[in-house]
Structure 1
């Protein structure tokens, strides 16, 4: 015979277990739902769990390769600022600029995209693609030091102006940055004419040759230094306000690097300008360059194409890499 007390106890245990089971289900359900109806009537909609995103690895900042097959556009779309993609296709050029991005040598840019061109020149001289505080400077013509900062050299300040540093004309701004432009290499060390477009910087001469300039600074000729005279192009009597395009000519790699181009660290200093009086607009007016098709000025108007690195026995001008100094970033008047 079944014990009635045991039976009653078993029924109580079963009821307790059922109540507990329903309570757990209710708690779990409330924990995974949220009332998003806005009615406050207890109507619930299930919200799926959000997966945890996977972590990404560190960005690479290796030096760019010198391969010739990578193309990119450095423009970042901003609804308030037009970028290269906003301009007509027939205004775009493919230019060689290997130090601007972490990878890739060829960039596509419109000559109408002046904001991107300005940015590209500044990124080029600061070697933005490497992100290592090593930037380009121009070694002066008389500098034969292992460390370029032991002698005379030219650096680019915060505004990308060219300033001399050394034992003469120290801290004097010589050329003022106007804007980035597209330009073609003239020729390499073999005399071969190039068909490669690249980024250049349009600069305005700050000093006169002999007389004081508009700010009262003495002429560059009064420093009696043949290297400074060469860099300022005294032979063509370059004066305050005269325009020229400065660029890095990779065809003039140093002698030791010509057969090992992947590891080149010195490059030629080119300067192109107009000096004929019949082309006075191209001597003084930046609007003839900024935002203009480079084909309109390169072949016909830039009638002086100077390579400052063509004869290292006379002048030692070169683009070289060195660690940046904080005071370079000051604005020199």
Structure 2
């Protein structure tokens, strides 16, 4: 009798586990792959180039100036600074999980990392910055010629330099976020409040734009479906506010942007294309009003923010999660918010 009860208990546990797994399998968000599967020699080369200022137009600023991989993969500023010491009119997006995006940059101007890299190199702002010049800058280095010869049959040429950078950027995935652990069946990986926040994220409709493996990054959407965020008192419309219109010239694309990924969003304040929202809670409120026509209760805002913080993954095997502030339960970037 005891053995039968134990067997029955085991069957019940298995059935509950299967039911739990089945319910998670139909979620609108998918976990980030645990491995990138790329050539580690090329990843290492790209990593070195990414941190090397010599490949930039002014020879002073490395890619890390705008994309700090020790933080959220962005620069933590409201607006980014160009290599010519002037401000771009747009917020620097994160490079973490960039390979999982559909199109690149806020306006979706680039369809691939390769295209983006080549355009970046050729946009010289008057500096002598041809592909040949880039290769020449590093060809006398003690490291690069031998490393390229090992990783590529034709060695150090511009196409391989671009490929190494692209390969490194493709490696910048951040798997094993607590929410991904939950999606893979560990129902205890997130708290009841965080689970409630996820349920609200779905029921309010946030998930209609922020879904898939990157929790966004896979479609375009107009900013201001229900409320125009550009009509704030004293708000001056900038060129950057025109969004995808600057790419297509189509009036229907005015104020249309690529929906950003929400992976590691707790680390990438300030938010939106213009860096206008300082905290995660501010961004949730602003998006609810502009995109959903909702004024969310403060409790719901905090719960959704708690869920979003579970999307912070791991980089190089280490968790990227940060402690949140006790005041207002709000996590903001520890860097300059502009």
TM-score (norm 2): 0.26
**Greater relative CO, 1 or 2 (CA 8 Å, sep 6+):** 2
Structure possessing the higher radius of gyration over alpha carbons: 1
Higher helix proportion, which one? 2
Higher strand proportion, which one? 1
TM-score (norm 1): 0.26
